[in-house]
Amino acid sequence: MTEGGGGVTIAKSRPEYYMYEARKQLGKPLKVLDGAGEQMSFYGRTLAWIPKTLVHYTREVMRLLAEVAFGSGGLAVIGGTIGVMVLMSGFTGVVVGLQGYAALDQIGSQALTGFLSAYVNTREVAPLVAGLALSATVGCGFTAQLGAMRISEEIDALETMAVPSIPFLVSTRVIAGFIAVIPLYVLGLLSAYLASRVVTTVFNGQSGGSYDHYFNLFLPPADVLWSFGKVLVFAFVIILVHCYYGYYASGGPAGVGVAVGHAVRAALVLIAVLDFFLGLAIWGTTTTVRVGG
C-alpha cells in the first residue's frame, strides 16, 4: 500500500512494487552514464571551437591570460597564480631538501641530496603542486565566474544576442590557461629547485659544489620536458572540468558554491589518476636515470 496525492491510499501489488524499485535502482547507473555523456559532449564542443576562438576572440583570450597570471580581486594581492605557484612549490622544495638530507644522512649518502631534488621535484612534486595550485586558483575562479553568469542568466543573454557561449566563455579560458601554465610552471619548478638547494647547503651545511654535481648529473633534459608535458595535461583537464561545472551550475547563489565543490573534488581525483598513468607511461618501463650499474 502506498499513499498518493491528497492523502489517498493507492494499492500497489507486490510485483509492481518490485518492478518500480528495480527501475529506480537501474536508473542510478544510467543517470551516471548520461552525465558522463553530457560531459564528453561539452568537452568535444569546447575543443572543436578552439581554432575559431583564436581568430574571433583574441582580445578576450589576452584579457583572461592576464587574469590567470596576475589574478583579480583578493588574489591579486599575492600576485595571482604566480604567487601561489611559487610559494607552494618553494615550500614543498624545502620539505624535499630537509627530509631527503635527513634520510640520506642516516646511511651516509647525504651527498645524494642533489640527486633527490632533481629526481623527486621534477617527476612528481612540482607537477602535482602545479596542478593543485591551478585547481585552487584558476579552476575555482573559472567555476565561480561561469556559475555566477549562469545563475544571473548572462549566458542565456549571450545566446539570445547570437554570441555562441561555449567558444566565448569556455574555449577562451582553456586557451588562456594552457598558455599561462608554461611560464607559471617554469617559476614553480625553479623555486622548488632553489628551495631544496638553499635548505641543503645553507641549513644542513653541504657544499654547493657537491650538491650541484649530483643535481646536474641526475637531471636529464628529457625529464624536464616530460615534466612540462604532465603539467600541460593537468592544466588542460583541470580547466575543462572546472568550466563544465561552472557552465551548468544551478540552484541560485548556493548552487555556485556547490558547483565549485564538485569541480574541486573531480579535479583533485583526476590529477591523482592522471599522475599515476602518466608516470607509468613515461617512466614505468624505461628510465633516464641510473644510480648504479
How many structural domains is the chain composed of?
1
- Whether residue 65 is contained in a domain is answered as yes
The pLDDT value given to residue 72 = 60
Residue 9, SS3 per DSSP: strand
The pLDDT value given to residue 290 = 64
* Per-position DSSP letters for 180-224, written without gaps between them: HHHHHHHHHHHHHHHHHHHIIIIIS---HHHHHHHHHHT--HHHH
Residue 57, SS3 per DSSP: coil
The pLDDT value given to residue 25 = 67
- Whether residue 93 is contained in a domain is answered as yes
Q: Alpha-carbon torsion 144, 145, 146, 147, what sign?
A: positive
Residue 249, SS3 per DSSP: coil
Residue 188 contacts residue 85 (beta carbons within 8 Å) = yes
The domain containing residue 243 runs over which residues? 44-282
The pLDDT value given to residue 171 = 94
- Whether residue 15 is contained in a domain is answered as no
- Whether residue 12 is contained in a domain is answered as no
The pLDDT value given to residue 109 = 85
- Whether residue 31 is contained in a domain is answered as no
The pLDDT value given to residue 77 = 44
The pLDDT value given to residue 78 = 46
Question: How far apart (Å, rounded) are the C-alpha atoms in residues 282 and 25?
Answer: 41
- Whether residue 32 is contained in a domain is answered as no
- Whether residue 292 is contained in a domain is answered as no
Q: Which mean pLDDT values do the consecutive 10-residue runs of the chain (293 residues) have?
A: 49 63 67 76 91 90 83 53 88 92 88 90 92 90 91 89 90 92 92 93 88 90 93 94 92 89 94 93 74 57
- Whether residue 26 is contained in a domain is answered as no
Q: What is the DSSP letter of 3?
A: E
